Amino acid sequence: MSFVEVDEVSRVFHKRSLFSKSQGVQALKNVSLSIQQGETYALVGESGSGKSTLARIVVGVDNASSGQVSIAGHQISTSMPKENRRDIQMVFQSPYASLNPRWRVHDLVAEPLRAFGITQGRKATVQRVTELLEQVGLQADDARKFPHQFSGGQRQRISIARALSSNPKFIVCDEPTSALDVSVQAQVLNLLKDLQSELGLTYLFITHDLAVVKTMAHQIGVLKQGVLIEEQSADDLFASPQHQYTKDLLAAAPVLSVA
């Protein structure tokens, strides 16, 4: 059994109007995929394809209209137990919007530690925050600063440190490099690869850009209008894409060098 199982997941959003019956908009239709432990599954598609909707369902922020998601044998939903939530974290698209500008870095990274009772006492919390910051390439003194004092790439490193603080097994990366310069994108991708190797993390990597996952994805699924139209290993997909939509995405992808 795979570590992450998405089984026939559909999501319909209903538009309500005072003058007409409720109309359903299907964001996802019978999407099934699986992710092996310690691997990266890249879900690729244009804006509006349903990628972020699936991400929200996978982390338990939203429920599917039908189908189910399970991680390490535990079914995922908005009502799942708190102890299961610590195994799942998310790195968001914008490092500017995802961090509270009024909080110091220490408090941003320490919040999950406190929420899940991972550390006891201030000394242990400070020590763990320092370890997490250094793990993502920042310094201990950075804990005293506010988000506006950092570059976009540094802010995303803070977001990654925050995601790591609950000792998760699975991280959903929702367009984590799309707001960054190309040179900084490569640095963040290399960091995610190194952390995966070091910690045995499993990733679902959401992106519209095939170039950013070329060297880090083990498996790639292509989503179009809520339907998974193609799924192959990364090597096979880049060598021989089967669907014209995938070919178009490959043709539009810029070259990104990731060591």
Q: Over the stretch 144-163, which tens digit does the pLDDT of each residue have?
A: 999 999 999 999 999 999 99
Backbone angles phi, psi at 126, to 5 degrees: -60, -40
Q: Return the bridge partners of 12, or none.
A: 26
Report if residue 134 sits inside a domain. yes
Hey, what are 224's tokens? 């179009």
Report if residue 177 sits inside a domain. no
The model carries a pTM of: 0.91
- Cα separation of 43 and 22, whole Å? 30
Report if residue 126 sits inside a domain. yes
Q: What is the rounded average pLDDT of the residues 15-24? A: 66
Q: Measured at the alpha carbon of residue 59, what is the angle toward residues 54 and 60, in degrees to the nearest 5?
A: 95
For residue 106, the enclosing domain spans 88-167
Q: Over the stretch 186-214, which tens digit does the pLDDT of each residue have?
A: 899 999 999 999 999 999 999 988 888 88
Report if residue 94 sits inside a domain. yes
Report if residue 141 sits inside a domain. yes
- Number of domains present in the structure of the chain: 1
Report if residue 80 sits inside a domain. no
Report if residue 256 sits inside a domain. no
Q: What is the rounded average pLDDT of the residues 25-33? A: 95
Hey, what are 6's tokens? 């998405």
User: Is it the case that residue 96 has pLDDT exceeding 70?
Assistant: yes
Report if residue 246 sits inside a domain. no
